[in-house]
Amino acid sequence: MDHPYLIRFLIGGAIIAGTTWVAEYFDPKLGGIIANIPSATIISLLMINSVLGEKGAVLFAKGVVVGNIPWYGYIFAVILLTQRIGLVKSLAIGMVIWLVLVPVTWRLSRFV
C-alpha cells in the first residue's frame, strides 16, 4: 500500500471521528463547522503539487472552488427536506442534485 494514501485515509478518519464526537457531545452545529476543516484539501494539494507541480495544485484549488456549487445544491436539499421526508431521502435527493450539477459546473470551470 502506498504510504501517502494510508496517511490521508488515517487523517480523514480521525477528523470524521472527531467532528462526530464534537457534534454528539457538545453542539451539532459546531461539529458541522469543524467538519469543514480543509484537511483533505491540504493533503490533496500537497500530493498533487509533488506530482504535477504548483500549476496542477492551482488548477486543483480552482476545481475545489467550482466544486462548491454542486455541494451547495446538495446541502441545501438536506437542510430543506430532512424534516419533511427524512434524512435518508433528503440525502438521496441531494446526491441527485449534486450529480446533475457536477457536469454543469465542470463545463463552467474553464472560465475560472
pLDDT by residue for the chain (112 residues), tens only, comes to: 467 778 778 877 888 898 899 999 999 998 888 888 787 788 889 889 999 999 999 999 999 999 999 999 999 999 999 999 999 999 999 999 999 999 999 898 888 7
- The grid cell for 84 is 419533511
pTM: 0.73
What CA–CA distances, in Å, run from 23 to 9, 27, 38, 75? 21, 5, 18, 17
Q: Look at residue 15 in the predicted model and tell me its pLDDT.
A: 81
Q: Look at residue 111 in the predicted model and tell me its pLDDT.
A: 81
Q: Look at residue 4 in the predicted model and tell me its pLDDT.
A: 72
Q: Look at residue 2 in the predicted model and tell me its pLDDT.
A: 62
